[in-house]
């Protein structure tokens, strides 16, 4: 994008890439994008990973994404609900509460 069209990627471009990777089940690659971004990832990026983690049942990555999303926007209760669903799917009933 940058080389061919001389367009510098913005946060929305990174969010879209992270969402696409996460929906495709490539959670590790989505996290790598976040780690190598020249700007700080926003709550949308973390919620994309959280949502995909819930769908895939990945507790480890889901917890990391949820904690970061909650840190960035503690008043958005959907992150808490998705994390609770991840725990329920994994049978971690003590953590669901």
Query: Could you tell me what percent of the chain has a pLDDT over 70?
Result: 100
**What digits encode the pLDDT tens for the residues 74-83?**
999 999 999 9
**pTM listed for this prediction:** 0.92
What span, in angstroms and rounded, lies between the C-alpha atoms of 26 and 39? 21
How far apart are the C-alpha atoms of 75 and 73, rounded to whole Å?
Answer: 6
Q: At the topology level of CATH, where does 2-96 sit?
A: 1.25.40
pLDDT digits (tens, 9 = 90+) for 31-61: 999 999 999 999 999 999 999 999 999 999 9
CA 18, CA 73: separation in Å to the nearest integer? 18
Mean pLDDT along residues 23-31: 97
Domain ranges of the chain: 2-96
């Amino acid at each position: 994008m940058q080389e061919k069209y001389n367009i510098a990627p913005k946060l929305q471009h990174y969010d879209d890439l992270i969402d696409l990777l996460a929906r495709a089940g490539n959670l590790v690659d989505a996290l790598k994008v976040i780690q190598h971004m020249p700007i700080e990832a926003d709550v949308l990026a973390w919620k994309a990973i959280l949502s995909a983690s819930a769908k895939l049942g990945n507790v480890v990555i889901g917890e990391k994404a949820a904690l970061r999303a909650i840190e960035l926007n503690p008043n958005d209760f959907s992150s808490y609900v998705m994390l609770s669903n991840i725990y329920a799917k994994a049978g971690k009933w003590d953590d669901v509460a």
